[in-house]
Amino acid sequence: MKNFLAISSFLSFSPVLLSSQVLAGTITQNGNQLLNNPNVSFPTISPTLIGDTLRFSTANVFYETILRWDLFPANTLTDNSPTEIINITANLGRLRSTSSRLPEDWDPTIYLWDGTNIIGGILGDNLGGAFQRIEGTSDGTSNNLSLIGSLSDAGNGFPDIGESIDFNVEFELGQTETKVTLSGLGESLSYTTNNFDRTKSLSLLITRNHPYERYDINSITVTSNHVVPEPLTILGAGTAVAFGISFKRKVNQSKNKSNESSYFEIIRSSE
């Protein structure tokens, strides 16, 4: 019975271990879930939870990270791994800024971070909704921008104050270069870069452009085409453990029977 319980524990615990090590498939989390996710942190500011929404007030510095979500540990991908696609959609609420000169300024930014380099972009209020390519470096808290692209029309329907928008960024991590695609209002902006190391630990960063901007994060959806061992593989491992225990038990039983036979033969001989 103890062996059976041990196997059951192994089978139920292993998928949890795997799922906490690397993100695979699709996961959507609202603000409350993000707040309690051990892989999510808030490097510069503690958000306020309003219902299932995370609200971020103003800050003191430009380009600071307000949310970090660790997705892949280092060496999850190698130089020879096939192309990995990480797709991120953040549902963000637009709030009025505290700037008297630019009360409607709102420029959320999404990056993928390899521990040093950041790649991604902005979906901002300029031109009634525009994308902007951004690359640079980061320590996970503050971000230094080395490449800022020109404004590109994002389409129609940029949210008014109090409304929300889905900002989507897809990263195709190839062996020699990475393709980044920003989308959100019917239009998209794509570019390629080799300023990224996919073999390092990979994290999602959401940052603010100006310190007076305020944000609501309603939810984040992350999709990855990464493949981890299926439950069937884990079940097979558990079955192997069970078989080993069963085989050992049978061997011991056989030895016991053999010893019993020898014992009775000795008794008969003495009689």
Please indicate, yes or no, whether residues 45 and 12 belong to a single structural domain of this protein: no
Share of the chain above pLDDT 70, in %: 76
Q: Which residue range(s) make up the domain with 18? A: 1-22+228-271
Here the tokens at position 40 are: 């999510």
Q: Where are the beta strands (DSSP E) in 125-233?
A: 130-138, 143-148, 152-153, 164-173, 178-183, 188-193, 202-207, 215-224
Please indicate, yes or no, whether residues 183 and 266 belong to a single structural domain of this protein: no
Instruction: Classify residue 93 by burial, with Cβ atoms within 10 Å: 0-12, 13-18, 19+.
Output: buried
CA–CA dist 62, 239 (Å, integer) = 55
Instruction: Classify residue 56 by burial, with Cβ atoms within 10 Å: 0-12, 13-18, 19+.
Output: buried
Please indicate, yes or no, whether residues 112 and 192 belong to a single structural domain of this protein: yes
Question: Exposed e or buried b for every residue in 178-200, given b needs 16+ CB within 10 A?
Answer: bbbbbbbbeeebebeeebbbbeb
**How much is the pTM?**
0.78
Task: Decide if pLDDT at 16 tops 70.
Answer: no
Here the tokens at position 224 are: 């990855």
Longest CA pairwise span in the chain (Å):
112
Q: How confident is the model at residue 228 (pLDDT cuts 50, 70, 90)?
A: low
CB 210 within 8 A of CB 62: yes
Torsion sign over Cα 152, 112, 191, 182? negative
Give the number of domains in the chain.
2
Please indicate, yes or no, whether residues 55 and 137 belong to a single structural domain of this protein: yes
Q: What's the CA dihedral at 80, 38, 27, 139 to 10 degrees?
A: -50
Please indicate, yes or no, whether residues 9 and 117 belong to a single structural domain of this protein: no
Please indicate, yes or no, whether residues 119 and 101 belong to a single structural domain of this protein: yes
Please write the tens of the pLDDT for every residue from 90-148.
999 999 999 999 999 999 999 999 999 999 999 999 999 999 999 999 999 999 999 99
Helix (H) or strand (E) holding 16: helix 2-21
Instruction: Classify residue 100 by burial, with Cβ atoms within 10 Å: 0-12, 13-18, 19+.
Output: exposed
Please indicate, yes or no, whether residues 117 and 215 belong to a single structural domain of this protein: yes
Please indicate, yes or no, whether residues 124 and 10 belong to a single structural domain of this protein: no
Please indicate, yes or no, whether residues 261 and 140 belong to a single structural domain of this protein: no
Please indicate, yes or no, whether residues 65 and 163 belong to a single structural domain of this protein: yes
Average pLDDT value for the chain: 84
Residue with tokens 């020109």: 150
Please indicate, yes or no, whether residues 97 and 139 belong to a single structural domain of this protein: yes
Please write the tens of the pLDDT for every residue from 203-215.
999 999 999 999 9
Please indicate, yes or no, whether residues 234 and 135 belong to a single structural domain of this protein: no
Residue with tokens 């979500």: 69
Q: How confident is the model at residue 60 (pLDDT cuts 50, 70, 90)?
A: confident
Read off the amino acid at residue 236: G
